Structure 1
Amino acid sequence: MLAVAERRLLNWLCAHMPPWISPDILTGIGMVGALAIFMGYAGSNWGVDWLWLAIAGYVIQWFGDSMDGSLARYRRIERPSYGYFIDHSCDGLATLLILAGMGASPYIRMDVALVALAGYLLLSIHAYLSARVLGEFKLSYLSAGPTELRLLLIGLTIAMMLLGYAPGWFGAVSGFDLFVGIVSAILLILFVKQTLSTARRIASSERR
């Protein structure tokens, strides 16, 4: 939904980026943002104001993660194999930090956060396999991609600040647990659906 506006912003940032800023530095900035998110959620055990660090971390992580490849393409200094490997390795680690941080907070149970982590990583694995066997790379589903997901998580974090922790209808399960659980179920369903669809495409092409 935000791809066109985001691309305009990224192009503007690339044109105004200092020469000493490299794609590798931006990748490192993205990982600093992911670590800040983890620390913000984990620190919320000692005070709700720590969640501001998590929100700032999402902005920093978006900046680094979105800008590294964009800057490389803008300057025509791409290293396709190296960039692909480093970028997606860091994506996996960043996702782990974000969801482990959520699980370490008082708002979301660790087991619920880990199911969400599994769902996201399964969809990522599907994207990497599709890139290998079909030559198509896709990380956006239901008109939403990583940027929209970050905005959703920022909204969830703001809700944590405003509503606080309150167990729901199932005792130890909070409303935040239910929300993340529903998102996890959607991710898992999307993985199964996309896997079956891709498998049919591959089978059809190999029968010809």
Structure 2
Amino acid sequence: MSSNPPPAATTVRIQQNILARGERRLLNWICPRLPGWVTPDQLTTLGFLGAVMVAMGYMLSWLGPAWLSLSIAGYVVHWFGDSLDGSLARWRRIERPSYGYFVDHSVDGLAIFLMVGSIGLSPYMRFDVALIAVIGYLLLAIHSFLAAKVVGEFRLSYMAGGPTELRLMLIAMTASMPIIGGADVNGTNFSPFDLFGLVVSSILVTLFVTQSFATARSLAHRRD
């Protein structure tokens, strides 16, 4: 869910999600107001702690739906840390492109597993469905990493959606869980959230396949 581009100077960031401009203005407003002792690494750690909060909220929701508020708070904490770590480094001109790219995306992979995978440990979604969603997201992330290497384009959004839109979707889904409930739909053994997760997963996998074919077709005309 991070926006740190690969270290190559020729790599172009492509970010066309709906909230990108507004979010960038907000991050640029926050960066100069952060205390000097706050570092990008601390923000990366804070973002990961937000992912842990999300996971704990889902797992504890077996005790009562009020625990889902911990997940919602965790998404906000994760956004703050994950969105600001690279932004702060660029604002202070203390970037370490190779280090930041490697650490940030490594932490992101584990954070996605914790946040999305843990939905399957709540009363509202099956664990296998949640893992399929994790796989779909990571497949699309792999495509972004590969495309950054071979065509010099690091895509941060697909279908006008990016990390922030994904978080908002997950927050809205989490807030609706106590209202909709986790009961099966017409004896299908799938809850409404299972069906929603399968639809989202299919979209992610389809995007991975279509984007991969498009990139491969473009590369087929090159000599390298």
Using structure 2 for the length normalisation, give the TM-score.
Answer: 0.91
**Deviation (angstroms), 1:140:** 0.6
Write the letter of the residue equivalent to 1:165.
G
Instruction: Indicate the RMSD between aligned Cα atoms, in angstroms.
Output: 0.9
1:174-206 alpha-carbon deviations (Å, 9 max, x no partner)? 111000100000000000000000101111122
Q: Could you tell me which amino acid in structure 2 is paired with residue 168 of structure 1?
A: V
Distance 1:186 1:82 in 2: 32
Q: Which residue is 2:118 aligned to?
A: 101
| Superposed counterparts of 1:9-88, under 5 Å | 9-88=26-105
**Structure 1 runs of 4+ with >4 Å offset:** none
What is the CA-CA distance between 1:170 and the residue it aligns to?
Answer: 3.9
Q: Give the equivalent residue in structure 1 for 2:12.
A: none
Deviation at 1:172, TM superposition (A): 1.8
Separation of aligned partners in 2, 1:170 and 1:190: 30
Aligned equivalents of 1:20, 1:122: Cα separation in 2: 36
- Supply the distance in 2 between the matched residues of 1:62 and 1:38 (Cα, whole angstroms): 15
SS of the aligned residue for 2:182 comes to coil
Give unmatched runs, 5+ long, in structure 1: none
1:131 aligns with 2:148: yes
Question: Structure 1 residues 127, 170: CA separation in 2 closer, same or farther (over 3 Å shift)?
Answer: farther
Structure 2 equivalent of residue 173 of structure 1: 190
Residue number in structure 2 paired with 1:197 = 214
SS at match of 1:137: strand
Greater CA drift, 165-174 or 40-49: 165-174
CA drift of 1:26 comes to 0.1
| Residue identity opposite 2:149 in structure 1 | R
TM value normalised by structure 1:
0.97
Q: Residue by residue, what CA displacement relative to the aligned partner does 1:86-132 show, whole Å, maximum 9, x if unpaired?
A: 01001100000012210100100001001101100000011111111
Structure of higher RCO (CA pairs closer than 8 Å, 6+ residues apart): 2
Q: Secondary structure at the match of 1:171?
A: coil
Question: How far did 1:79 drift?
Answer: 0.1
Number of positions where the alignment pairs a residue of Structure 1 with one of Structure 2: 207
Q: 1:118 — aligned with what?
A: 135
**More helix, by proportion:** 1
Deviations 1:22-58 (A, max 9, x none): 0000000000000000000011011101100000000
SS in 1 for 2:223: helix
Deviation at 1:165, TM superposition (A): 1.9
